Homo-oligomer: A and B are copies of this chain.
Amino acid sequence: MAKEENKGVTVKKSEDMPEWYSQVCLKAELADYSPVKGTMVIRPYGYAIWQKIMDHFNKVMESKGVKNAYFPLFIPESFFKKEAEHAKGFAPEVAWVDAKSEEGEKYALRPTSETIMYYSYAKWIRSWRDLPLRINQWCNIVRWEVSDCKLFIRSREFLWQEGHCVYASEGECDNETLMFLGEYKKLCQDLLAIPVLMGKKTDKEKFAGAKYTTTIESFMPDGKALQMGTSHNLGQGFAKVFGISYLGEDEKKHIPWQSSWGFSTRLIGALVMTHSDDKGLVLPPKIAPTKVVIIPIYKEKDKADVLRKANEVKDKLKKYSVELDDRDGYTPGWKFNEHEMKGIPLRIEIGPKDIENKQVILVRRDNSKKEAVKLVDLDIKVSETLLNIQQNLFKKADDYLSRSIIKVENFEQLDNTIKHKKIAFASFCGRVECEDHIKDKTGGATSRCIPFKSPPVDGLCVNCNTPAKYRVYFAKAY
């Protein structure tokens, strides 16, 4: 019993969420801190979740005609400066290499890849036949300003995908900017069971260099929003400065339209915060690397029989990514704790009595419900229960999100809503200065998005009382 000292999470989610979160990530072995300040290690269990996200999204991209490629980590300083807003937006975050080109040019470690990619696009795109061009890359990204790492949520280096498309027309570009955002929403809702709000960013929050930015936003149990993915219509600005043009069917030269869109390993942070509990990680079945764990329970004399039956059950359920924990030297209770910590959606217990009764005990991770299930019914029962867990987790999170949105009519209500850790849905004038004021006066609330289906607004801005342009979600955010 060498490992009986294994300890659970020592604080409650409701009482100290930052500490609880860090403990869940560490103790479920999703990630670890690294000796390099601001960076993290993604451990195999965390990487397996990222792999499932990549596999899902690679299929989506393939169906949309997006191809993967790989561009350099290094970006010449002069490239940044070509698009003024882009350069300004990323300036504080950029890390540089301590070596210059022979011409004395500095190289940045990519904080995003628009500029280095579009240099190549200008070479590759010649005629309307080359469009649309849809390329994605999976890569590491460096944003140096982060010095305190919050595992998955904020770190100097993280992994992401960045899609970069070029279109002949503005209409196509608009459509696909939204289409990829829609795919992000599906990924979050269907795979990760995380409900999101969708909409446009205000001018203050849009991507540096974009015409407009669309976003999906989730809302964490501690009352902070988390940006899950963004999709930008870049307009023609980058194309102009990087010299991307194409010969149309009309034999004339045209400037194309561009979009870019990305999500990162942050999604794993949102996944952990949204569903997990005081016993550790809770994973929706669709994203769980192991969906079912079988734990045999026996005294020495029954060992052979119980293990034989446990292996039979494993075989029967193999389509569900099932694991049999037949390790010696650990008690069943210790194993229960470990697999609860790791968030495995379903546990199956098998002992001699269960074999006699031709049954197993099924225990759900999400609500701890325990049930005896006849072996003949097991396959269908497991299938139904996994589906039900997935739906249950989404519903809980979705109810929380709905309850958290408060329509506010004036600044006092907005401020109060933020103080109560909710999302204020407010009429807003759209001006950057006004948004700065709101942030200051509320101690940090930012606009999250303008919903696409915004109701008509005829009132005044919640802060400055000038005519409102739209309704906006305001909240504190990660």
Contact = CB atoms under 8 A, between A and B. Distances in A.
A140 B142 contact: no
A278 to B, nearest CB: 25
A191 interface: no
A476 to B, nearest CB: 28
Contacts of A3: 127, 129
A433 interface: no
A30 to B, nearest CB: 11
A36 B74 contact: yes
A475 interface: no
A107 B38 CA distance: 13
Given A73-B142, A140-B73, A68 B96 contact: no
Given A97-B96, A98-B96, A74 B39 contact: yes
Interface stretch (A42-50, A84-92, A217-225, A298-306): A42-50
B157 A74 contact: yes
A119 B32 CA distance: 11
B47 A67 contact: yes
Query: How many subunits of this chain does the assembly comprise?
Result: 2
A70 B47 contact: yes
What bracket does the count of chain A residues touching chain B fall in? 35 or more
A477 interface: no
A181 to B, nearest CB: 23
A104 interface: no
A75 B39 CA distance: 11
Contacts of A48: 67-68
A478 interface: no
B69 A35 contact: no
B144 A99 contact: yes
A447 B212 CA distance: 58
B34 A120 contact: yes
Nearest to A34: B72
A75 B37 CA distance: 11
A155 to B, nearest CB: 9
A43 B135 CA distance: 9
Interface in A89-133: 95-99, 101-102, 106-107, 109, 116, 119-120, 123-124, 127, 129
A44 B119 contact: no
A70 B159 contact: yes
Contacts of A99: 95-96, 144
Contact of A36 (B37, B40, B76): B76
A318 to B, nearest CB: 15
Nearest to A37: B101
Interface in A1-59: 2-3, 32, 34-37, 39-44, 46-48, 50-51
A3 B367 CA distance: 63
A72 B109 contact: no
A44 B97 contact: no
A139 interface: yes
Interface in A382-441: none
Contacts of A44: 67-69, 135
Contacts of A97: 95-98, 109
A315 to B, nearest CB: 18
Contact of A69 (B41, B101, B107, B116): B41
Closest 6 CB pairs of A and B: A44-B67, A42-B70, A39-B72, A98-B98, A96-B98, A36-B74
14 contacts: A3-B127, A36-B75, A37-B102, A40-B72, A42-B70, A42-B71, A44-B67, A44-B135, A48-B67, A95-B98, A96-B97, A97-B97, A97-B98, A98-B98
Given A46-B69, A95-B97, 19 more contacts: A3-B127, A34-B119, A36-B74, A36-B101, A36-B116, A37-B101, A37-B102, A39-B73, A39-B74, A41-B72, A43-B69, A44-B69, A47-B68, A47-B69, A73-B142, A73-B157, A98-B106, A139-B140, A140-B140
